[in-house]
Structure formats: structure tokens, C-alpha cells
Structure 1
């Protein structure tokens, strides 16, 4: 990255370390010759999927922005943009596709996706209902935030992977963090540059020129789809 007296902050909100690692080298490549020195602040956690039933979606994001500013002593004017990267999980899967498989208890899993059959199995009836309610809540928040281009007058972009980042990149869904990281590491080794990355997304038809949220909404929820290219596109136009 460039180094001068001008510095700006880009906040990257991700759900897991794997998404941070995936984006890091691509972001560094895009920003390395900018006139401005951009510093990334990363927050980790699924802030949209937890059951904060009384929390407005925009207020949830705003709270995270203010948390970063308070912790790092940033001013609002320091923040150049916020990229919010989410796994949509089962939030776009139809209700009739939720079933119970008690064998999952032996694997210590609350749920499991059967992608080919387009089904989601939960370990119990109670867990099925909990998952369904949590994802329904997340679905509503995603729909709200997908239409926002600013929060608190700061440029904001909602970026998604369906169902998870490793599902989009490899066609497989992993259930522990180490396995997710293995997928990301292998992907980065095979696609080390931004050109490689964007070429893969286009070749595999994982991105669309249509509104990706509309495409996702009309799908069964299992379609491999992302708008992660928007992060690269947005960063390229920064000075």
C-alpha cells in the first residue's frame, strides 16, 4: 500500500476467519498503488443470525461501526467504506425443505445440508425450529440491508456467499473451521491474483450481471452464487 500523510479506514465485517483470509491478499493487491493509505479493520461474527429480535438491521451494523471507532479512536470522517460479508446459510431455503435427522447428534452437528437433494437436516425437531426461526430472521435483515448503499452516511455494501464461502468456491460445505480454512488455502494457491479470482467467478458462473439478490431470492437457496466481486470493483475506484 502507499504510505503518506493521508490515511483512511475500510471496515470489513465478516462471519469467520476464513472470509478474512480469502479477501486479504486480493485486497492488498488492489490497494497497493493507491495514493491514499488504506487500513483495514476486521470484525468477526454473525451479527445478523443471532436472535436479537428487537434490533433493527441497520442499527446492528451501526453498532459494530461505532464499536470499531470507539476501540480504535477513529473519527467518522476516517471511515472510507464498510464491506459486510455474510454467509446466507439456510436463510433463503424454503420452509418445506427442513427435515430432522437425529443421527447428527453423533456428529455433534446442529444441522447438515444435503445440497443435491436441496434439503436441510437438523438434529431434532426443536433444533429444526430454532434454525428455521434464526434463518428467517436473518433473511429479513439481509433483504433490508441489501438495498442500502450507506449507513450513517458511510458507504456500505452487503456482500454474500450462498450458502457459505466454501460452498461457492468448492461446491462443498464444511462444518468445522479447520476444514473451511483448508478450502480457502487451496483456493488461494490455485487463484493467487485478482485476475485469477475474478476469472474463476466468471468461468464458473458464480456472479451475475443481474441483481444478485433477486436471483438468490428466486432460487431454492442452494444455488452457488456471490457478489464478492463488488468488493474488488469498489476498491478499484478508490483513490
Structure 2
């Protein structure tokens, strides 16, 4: 077995991914960008053709060095992929990761329909189940935050300027799965939030997940007022 200078095993996949100056430079550029970079931004900064930049970025994703998701920034239309570095450490509750991986494999085998929508429906049921196990009587938003915290997302509630609420997710316990199917895993996450909110008495579909919606976090946007207290008593 190959070992590095400190006796740790060398990750040959990552080692090969960084075997070119271009990919190493792209990784450093992405790490230096607070909110990650799109293919167009990498192309503009490096002078590489967009197709070449995409190939390098996806190689870094495959190696587990970057993760990608679609981030619209609130703009209409189909958003571009945005790439950002994988944190050195991320919580990874094994049972939940295994469940999410099994779901992704199932959706891949089905090969039909809207994968994100299907994952969101599965996540909705999962979110209701998890919320049912939390102490009753709290606000719907607090229930959703408790569910997300239990999954390892490191959530933080933030009021918005228009009086609504956002939940910032600073870590993701499923990053390695995001690389395999970003649309499906992000759909699963928003479904979990919607299910938890609905179980606690909030209106259905009251959550929108914006991957990379903040420089250091994914953002769940809610239409619920920040001080909403509706829900079962």
C-alpha cells in the first residue's frame, strides 16, 4: 500500500486528479472563491475553453475535491452548475448516508420521471417521520431545525429583511452523494424540510432550497414569518 510522508495512505484518485497544473490551479481558484465558481467563471479566470474547464471541474468532483449543485441566485431560468470545495471534515451519520445512497441507486435504476421531484417526495415522508419523533408543541421552524441538526447539517435560523425566515446549512453530511446526483440529493433535502414543517403544522411546500445560496452555506428559504408560532400545541 502506498503511503505518504506521515505514513498515511495516499488517495490515488485525488492524487491523479491533481496531476495537472490546470486542475491544481482550478482547485485553488475555487477554494479562494467564497461562493464557489461556475464553469464560465473558471473559463474566464484561466483562459481555458468552457468544455475544457468543465472536464477539469468534473474530474475534481469525481475525486471528491469539489462538489457541484445548481444555484440560481434568485434569477429565472435553469441555473448553471456552481462548484465549491468539499470541507476537510463533514458530519456523516452512517445510517442516514446509507439510506440516502440506497434511494439514489433506486432512482438511478428507475431511469424515468423527474429525479429531483421523486427524491423530494421520498424526503417529504422521511421528514415527517423524523419530525414526529421530536418533542411536540414547538414552532414548525424549530421542528425543522431540530430535524436538520439531527441529520448533521449545522443549521442556523436567520430572519430576512422582508420578515420571513431562512435556514442556513453550514455543513452537509451527504457531500459525497451530492457528487453522484446533485439534483436528487438536493431534492431529498428540501423534501425532508417540507415534511418536517408539514408534520409540525406549517403549510405544505413552504420551503425552497438554494444550493450555495450564501457564500458559506446552502440556504432554505421559507415564507413563514420569523415569529410564526402556528402548529400543534
Task: Report the TM-score when normalising by structure 1.
Answer: 0.26
Superposition TM-score, scaled by structure 2 size: 0.26
**Greater relative CO, 1 or 2 (CA 8 Å, sep 6+):** 1
